[in-house]
Amino acid sequence: MQGSDNLKLSVALTTYNHGDYIKECLDSILDQDFESEFEIVVSDDCSSDQTGIIIESYCTKYPDKFNYIKREKNIGYVKNLDDVIKNCRGEYIAIFDGDDIMKKEKLKKQVEYLDDMKNVVMVGHDARAFNSGNNKTIEYIRPKQKLQFFNVEDLFRHGSFFANSSKMFRRSAFPEKGIDHNLKLIADWYLSIEIALKGDIGYIYEVLMDYRVHGSSIMRNIDGRTHFEDMSLIINGIENRFPGKYTHSFKSQWAYACLVTGISEFKRNNIKVAKDFLKQSINYDPYYRLSQYFYLLFSYAPRFVRKIITR
């Protein structure tokens, strides 16, 4: 990846069918309290709504600010994100999704943090998840432990514990081969792991963005099988590169992957397969987030217990 000697920051913005949200997203980026030069590398993944038209209008108004990658066909989130990052020229790269909103001081605080903390390769921050329909706060996305620094083993144990759009990292830490295109959805965890293998993860305990939750949000529609396949690809890849070194750290992630897959199979009425995955989940980590078991069982499959008993 070739960068500019003078360009401090690139915002890697991916978007697909965000016609109702992209304007607010772009305005929040352009309104940043950040005085250094930065670019917005944005890719619309062949949206079927007004997303592309809106982006083009911003490119016309701010020609020196945008690098617009317009897709002629949909290539999917993983390939789109990988290509956008590879087109970034800045010393630092901030990932952002086209339906989220930046707080005014986000970029400035993250850049200052990376400037000061040379041991840190990536920095995240708190995010407010809100209901797009009524603007009510759903939750605050932040780590359960308040540490100064995190490392790759924290990602192995806890998964993606901060919002994807909160991440800013050093371009030099981006993996040479980019993001594995065999992944279907959870590229954020993969990318965080690859970057964290090169240094510490820093964190700013302030809400610096709003994460929009709506019906077409990627993570609301993730399929259990897809999650399990992606998780397996990532974990097995690490195990092959570092035999036995991190095996103990993956138990909770295997437990979660099997749990989500079990619920997904139940919803498809594949009861035997669902039971097998849930048993595997308990075998990996019998005490893994008990509240999560009950939440998934009763929120997504209220008849689960009755079906398990009667089959």
Fold of the 9-219 domain: Spore Coat Polysaccharide Biosynthesis Protein SpsA; Chain A (3.90.550)
CA distance 180 to 238: 13
Is residue 203 pLDDT above 50, yes or no? yes
Residue 145 to residues 149, 150, 161, 165, 168: CA-CA distances in angstroms?
A: 10, 10, 10, 20, 20
Q: What is the pLDDT of residue 310?
A: 46
Residue 210: HSE in the Cβ half-sphere, 13 Å Cα cutoff:
19
DSSP secondary structure letters along 79-110: HHHHHHHHT--SSEEEEEETT-EE-TTHHHHH
Specify the 3-state DSSP secondary structure of 225.
helix
**Residue ranges per structural domain of the chain:** 9-219, 223-310
For the cut 70, the answer to whether the pLDDT of residue 220 exceeds it is no
pLDDT tens sequence across 178-199 = 999 999 989 999 999 999 999 9
Q: CA 224 to CA 11: how far, in whole Å?
A: 30
Mean pLDDT of the chain: 88
pLDDT at residue 53 tops 90: yes
Q: Residue 209: helix, strand or coil by DSSP?
A: strand
* pTM for this prediction: 0.86
